[in-house]
Structure 1
Amino acid sequence: MITYIVLALIVLILIAAGLGTALIYQKDMQTWILGYWKNAFFSSKPEVKGTTHVMFCFVDHYEPQWLNKDNIELERARVDRWMQDYPVMASKFTDADGYHPKHSFFFPEEEYREEHLDKLSDLCARGFGEIEIHLHHEDDTSDNLRTVLSNFAQTLHEKHGALATDPVTGKPVYAFIHGNWALDNSHPHGHWCGVNDELTVLKETGCYVDMTFPSPDATQPALTNCFHYAKDDPAKPKSYNSGKLMKTGGEAWGDLLIMQGPMGFNKEAFKFGILPKIERADIRDNCRPTPGRVDNWVDKHIHVEGRPEWIFIKIHTHGAQDTDMGALLGEPVEIMHRHLNEKYNDGEKYKLHYVSAREMYNIAKAAEAGKQGDPNDYRDFILKKPAFKRI
């Protein structure tokens, strides 16, 4: 009898393990789940003495042509809604330094229209955000990618006053988000890139940081909830899968800095009432930025090693998609900002700092250099604010 019970338990365990493995692969968790669990269960949260500073960065895969490449009027309507509604929403909130929320528009090179960038530049000149580079490409080559990125960076800089400049060379530099998350040809089937030495090309064309991740599929690196340097292997894809963590007293290494947003599990959202949904820092109408999610982002405690009192939250969206604009420009996002200010901006336990992608990079580099105190002092630590053009 005991033998049958033991055998039944073994069978149940094997079935559960098989179902768990199937679920992991179905949700594309196989690339990161082991490292995440290791950190979650075997690493203690660093102790913070004094004030915790929360850097909050909202990056946007901003694509006005979404599913409508031949409808310029629809593109204009999408951009104009942001020009009208974003300042109204953002003006209701300020951080510990008196800044309103700053939206980082990662604009796709393949959708470039001068009139759209003129409007976004005007919005940024008024203090509501900054512009960086986004790119979708397929079956590309290193040489073509180098030309495309260099030319687009120069166009944004010369025509719109966008992008920071290298303090030594004076050339425009940029933060980057890869279309479809397939950075460095990382899609398992080779889609949406084609360039195995993409990290090298990005570095050569002025990219100072990648902000693509977290991702919703197998392109996600094994490392999560951290900032790390990646070294390119020109012969292989997904060179960013491993690297060296950014730390106080350290220095740049390899070819590209990867700054990720919070990833894990959404404790307040359950599928079938049993399984928690995966948290990938994605904001849209069906994935709203609730107070519970905000608390979860803070709890991930992403920081430069050795500076735990400065934590970084980078969330992302596709802001030009019609179905999501109500959540991004109306009450759902206002609920998020109210919670950030009420819980994480009391001036003693927490201070909130709204930052652009460039400012987040600068503050992280200041932490790496051993700087302390108020991170507001380091918004322009290396890269100065672009001189955006007004309309």
Structure 2
Amino acid sequence: MKLPKHAELWLPAYCKDRLLHMLTPRRAKRIWVAITDHYEPMGGGVSLEVGQARVAAWQRRWPEIVEIAPSDAAGNKPRYTCFYPQEEYRREILTALEPMAREGLIDVEVHIHHEHDTPESFAQKINEFCRRLHDEHGFLRHRDGKLIFGFIHGNWALDNSRPDGLWCGVTGELKLLRDLGCYADFTMPSLPSATQGKVINQIYWTNGDPKKPKGFDCGTKASPGGGRQGDLLMITGPLGLRYRDRWMPRLETGELAVYDPATPYRVQRWMDLAPQLGEDIFLKLYAHGAREDNAGGLLGSKRGEGSLEPMFRWIAEAAEQRGLELHWATAYEMFSAVDRLISDASQEHAI
């Protein structure tokens, strides 16, 4: 039965998650925070000049925001990960991002909007794009001799998960991504899209049938010392309800947008909902920050404007209140922290 906001997909898991949260209060020592942006300067079919202006806004304001943001436990400042669309590649745009990447202000990973692909055509697109990002711009990295990447699926349609089959076409995409070098997927949550998975607020390994769409609907929860226990690692963002100053609850998906800016209450809610692995909480937020409206809301035009500047302060304050050691992270750094926790064992915790 279809419910409002596709609640039939996520509400059972949410109720279970909240019940467990009440019965076994969190005992955490650290929190890792990453912003994973669906970064689309050329989105909407705009001209190169508009795309360059969108990047210039980030070149101008993001370093200023980072400079005044609180440092984490290791002395690091916030990072920002730009998941750049394969189909929007423009050399000029990626070249403009290189200086911020060299300075450690941003990182670049892989995003794609695609349709009617086969496994072969999809693999060709990803392989060529990854090589171009690495060889021509110095992005991405090697691990065990293989080029690896983090991934966000455009239009949320990971593993052919739309009921109408649009905006993907590749059933079995999860295993294919793993084989192509994807170290983790950061697509979920995807509400209000019908692509939303049934596993929420977890870091887990997918183990669905590769012959059927939406293989991320089931999986094995990652655990300290548990090792690899499935096809593709899913690092999901917070998903739940928030209530303050509302007659009816509102969905919380960890989105940063001009129409839904960060607030101290949202920060607390994120920390309550975010996945926990051992004594570490992993808070993955997302945005579509290249667009002018969102860039204006997130960055502002000068100091004291924009929602990112106070958000970092609120996160640091909330972490201190909860006795949590704070770590700002790129998507890859968040994965690396997860990887260190789960390596070298084989026990299972099925979802």
Shared fold per TM-score greater than 0.5: yes
- Report the equivalent of 2:339: 365
Contact kept? 1:269, 1:277, Cα under 8 Å: no
Superposed, which structure 2 residues align to 1:237-248 within 5 Å?
237-248=213-224
How many angstroms apart in 1 are the aligned matches of 2:170 and 2:87?
A: 17
- Report the equivalent of 1:11: none
1:303 Cα offset (Å): 1.4
Cα deviation digits, residues 139-180 of structure 1 (max 9, x gap): 1111100000011111111111110212x2x22100000001
- Report the equivalent of 1:385: none
Instruction: Confirm whether residue 292 of structure 1 aligns to residue 269 of structure 2.
Output: no
- Report the equivalent of 1:201: 176
Which aligned runs of 4 or more in structure 1 are off by greater than 4 angstroms? none
- Report the equivalent of 1:318: 288
Contact kept? 2:208, 2:219, Cα under 8 Å: no
Aligned pair partner of 2:242 in 261, 266, 290? 266
How many angstroms apart in 1 are the aligned matches of 2:332 and 2:171?
A: 26
Contact kept? 2:237, 2:274, Cα under 8 Å: no
Q: Quick check: 294-303 or 71-80, which moved more?
A: 294-303
* Structure 2: 5+ residue stretches without partners: 301-305, 346-351
1:46 Cα offset (Å): 4.2
1:269 Cα offset (Å): 5.4
1:123 Cα offset (Å): 0.4
Residues 368 and 303 of structure 1: CA distance in aligned 2, closer, same or farther (over 3 Å): same
1:232 Cα offset (Å): 4.9
Instruction: Confirm whether residue 157 of structure 1 aligns to residue 157 of structure 2.
Output: no
Larger radius of gyration: 1
Residues 265 and 152 of structure 1: CA distance in aligned 2, closer, same or farther (over 3 Å): same
Q: Matched residues, percent identical?
A: 35
- Report the equivalent of 2:255: 282
How many angstroms apart in 1 are the aligned matches of 2:142 and 2:31?
A: 26
RMSD: 1.8
Give me the TM-score of the superposition, normalised by structure 1. 0.83
Contact kept? 2:227, 2:344, Cα under 8 Å: no
Contact kept? 1:55, 1:312, Cα under 8 Å: yes
Residues 262 and 370 of structure 1: CA distance in aligned 2, closer, same or farther (over 3 Å): farther
Instruction: Confirm whether residue 255 of structure 1 aligns to residue 231 of structure 2.
Output: yes
Contact kept? 1:227, 1:245, Cα under 8 Å: yes
1:301 Cα offset (Å): 4.5
How many angstroms apart in 2 are the aligned matches of 1:163 and 1:139?
A: 27
Give me the TM-score of the superposition, normalised by structure 2. 0.92
* One-letter code aligned to 2:10: W
* One-letter code aligned to 2:276: H
1:231 Cα offset (Å): 2.4
Instruction: Confirm whether residue 302 of structure 1 aligns to residue 275 of structure 2.
Output: yes
Contact kept? 1:200, 1:232, Cα under 8 Å: no
How many angstroms apart in 2 are the aligned matches of 1:70 and 1:182?
A: 23
* One-letter code aligned to 1:104: T
Cα deviation digits, residues 250-299 of structure 1 (max 9, x gap): 111221001100000123253xxx21100111110011111110100111
Contact kept? 1:103, 1:128, Cα under 8 Å: yes
* Structure 1: 5+ residue stretches without partners: 1-20, 372-391
1:70 Cα offset (Å): 4.4
How many angstroms apart in 1 are the aligned matches of 2:329 and 2:46?
A: 34
* One-letter code aligned to 1:310: D
Instruction: Confirm whether residue 327 of structure 1 aligns to residue 300 of structure 2.
Output: no
* One-letter code aligned to 2:184: V
* One-letter code aligned to 2:38: H
- Report the equivalent of 1:41: 19
How many angstroms apart in 2 are the aligned matches of 1:176 and 1:114?
A: 20
